[in-house]
Chains A and B, each alone.
Chain A
Amino acid sequence: MTPAIRLILIKLLQAVPVVLIVSILAFLVLNLLPGDPAVIIAGDQATPAAIEAVRHSLGLDRPFIVQLGIWFLHIVHGNFGNSLVLNQTVASAMLQRLPVTLSLAGLSLAITLPIGIGLGSLAAYYRGSWIDSSVMTVALVGVSVPSFWVAGLAVALFSVVLGWFPSSGYVPFAQNPAQWLRALLLPSIILSLFEIGFLSRMTRSAMLDVFGQDFIRTARSKGISEWRIVSKHAFRNALVMVITATGILLSAAIGGSVVIEQVFALPGVGRLVVEGILARDYPLVQGVMLIYGLTFVLINLIVDLAYSFADPRVRYD
């Protein structure tokens, strides 16, 4: 068994208790929320008897521990139970929505990585100059301004006034890649604003750290060009920090996508969970929270593996 595979197996085993705890917490939190799904589903005019019938049919009248057991059973089955309002299993609802959220997160990361790393390196290289201060000002604005506010302004300008982008909606990639890009570009850029600000600050500080090291002077003494020193000698050393920052960004993108999908009416997982919460659709919200938990675990696993790729000193052998 190669070290990498063993690492993956160990990390996956470590993830089991994490996922278990997340699933129980998801269940508990929803049960503590005020509001009764039976009342909402039965409607405004329902009689107490009708509400009771709905409650019984949903299994909500069973003891707490039995409900928890049923929830686990559904997880093991892989369908996460039936949604209370969507008339499908939670798993199929999530699978339907997942491509939208992944597209959004992926596209915004594709925008963020080159720009964030580029700006951060530039600021570090020209430390103390006007380039540095402009990049850092832009980065500060990026991390400080709330995305829902920028999103609102952007829709008003680019969609309503200029008409460059649709203000809402989503087209699957398989159906029409150009339309897919057009629908996702504006939300992705807005999601990227925070990410670029964060990543460029992290990159700058990591690169500054590296630029002060002796081996950069060694590289210079060999006659290597400044570009190569920055892109090869310095960046390879700053990479661990960049990977850490990217992992954090991916996790943050889960939260960010909830807001952005809401503003742009994108039918993603973030929007699904908001709908679920408003409708007190317990199984749906529990399922999404579990998927979010799994995603965090997965991101951490990828980051761990990427470390060993980036730095020979943390190779697991």
Chain B
Amino acid sequence: MPADALVSIRDLTVQFRTDRGWVSAIEDISLDINAGECLGVVGESGSGKSVTALSILRLHARGTARAARGSIMLDGRDLLRAPERDLRRVRGGDIAMVFQDPMSSLNPVLTIADQISESLRLHQGLSRAEGRSRAIELLDLVRIADAPRRADEYPHRLSGGMRQRVMIAIAIACRPRLLIADEPTTALDVTIQAQILELLRDLRAELGMAVMMISHDLGVIAEFAHRVVVMYAGRIVEQAPVGTLFSAPRHPYTEGLMTSLRGRDIPGQRLGSIPGRVPDPDESIPGCRFGPRCAHVEAVCRAAVPALVSISENHDVRCTPRSQALAPACL
């Protein structure tokens, strides 16, 4: 674990209760989020991005999920095994979260000020009046005009973009060290998306917090992240600094994603796509889970689950043929 890792996830396997017993949604996830950095997590829906993010704060619906293996370390404590009381101090305090759909993520019967100040009053012991004035400051900070008036309104009076700003204000209220943004712009229209991303970028610089940006949108990731983790079917398939990943992707799945991105700038060219679909978590696939969709699949891919191998500094790939070809000889 690097010295500056803020949150360190190791060998995390999370399972969900289904009719056929416990099924793994993510398996053997290991990643670090460094202080102040912006980590992008990318993958199709069903790849396990959100499951990973929700696991950090243990926010899965009660009784539906369990961490079968692994650890999530913050300040020398394992969040997976921390008592609920301790975890509540981390939630909204050290680590905060912004969710995908701002239309349904705010409580419709509580005022904006009430919802923003709630965590301040809880974590910092502010009074109701102090909480309200701090909430107004935060509304200013997320660039909502006429903050004092908006503070006393209810969410239904606000547009989607404004609601997501309010969600961000709630999340940054206690100056978290890590902000997890789970598809924060997916539910918004394009111009608002750009504004929200810009806001997040500015706030990150201003507050010096780390951001875990989860998105299926490579454009968002390219613009925002320092380092990128690519997930496929519940596993990390590649991680690298953003420049390396976009210029020299090594995993065939990442390559496929890049092809689908590049084609859109060239008129008349068909968008590249990856045939097939993401397998269900309980589908049994021998070896590499991307194998059935992979153009370069070999016998060795079906023989065993590939390991995540470091092929150069800060660049890991989970693909047996590629890592054998690329890994430094000393490993």
Contact = CB atoms under 8 A, between A and B. Distances in A.
A213 B122 contact: no
A218 B105 contact: yes
A237 B108 contact: yes
A225 B92 contact: no
Contact of B91 (A221, A239, A312): A221
B119 interface: yes
A221 B110 contact: no
Main secondary structure of the interface of A (DSSP, over half): helix
B101 A222 contact: no
Nearest to A235: B109
Contacts of A224: 88, 92, 118-119, 122
B110 A233 contact: yes
Nearest to B102: A214
A220 B63 CA distance: 15
Nearest to B97: A221
Contacts of B122: 222-224
B167 interface: yes
Interface in B61-103: 61, 63, 88-93, 96-97, 99, 101
A313 B118 contact: no
A215 B92 contact: no
B236 interface: no
B57 interface: yes
A222 B120 CA distance: 9
Interface of B: 57, 59, 61, 63, 88-93, 96-97, 99, 101, 104-110, 118-119, 122-123, 154, 156, 167, 170-171
17 contacts: A214-B99, A214-B104, A215-B108, A217-B99, A218-B170, A219-B107, A219-B118, A221-B59, A221-B92, A221-B97, A221-B99, A222-B118, A224-B92, A233-B107, A239-B109, A310-B109, A313-B156
Interface of A: 128, 212-215, 217-225, 232-233, 236-237, 239, 310-313
The 5 A-B residue pairs whose C-beta atoms are closest, nearest first, are A223-B91, A222-B92, A223-B92, A214-B104, A312-B154
Given A217-B99, A217-B105, 5 more contacts: A214-B105, A217-B61, A220-B59, A223-B93, A236-B110
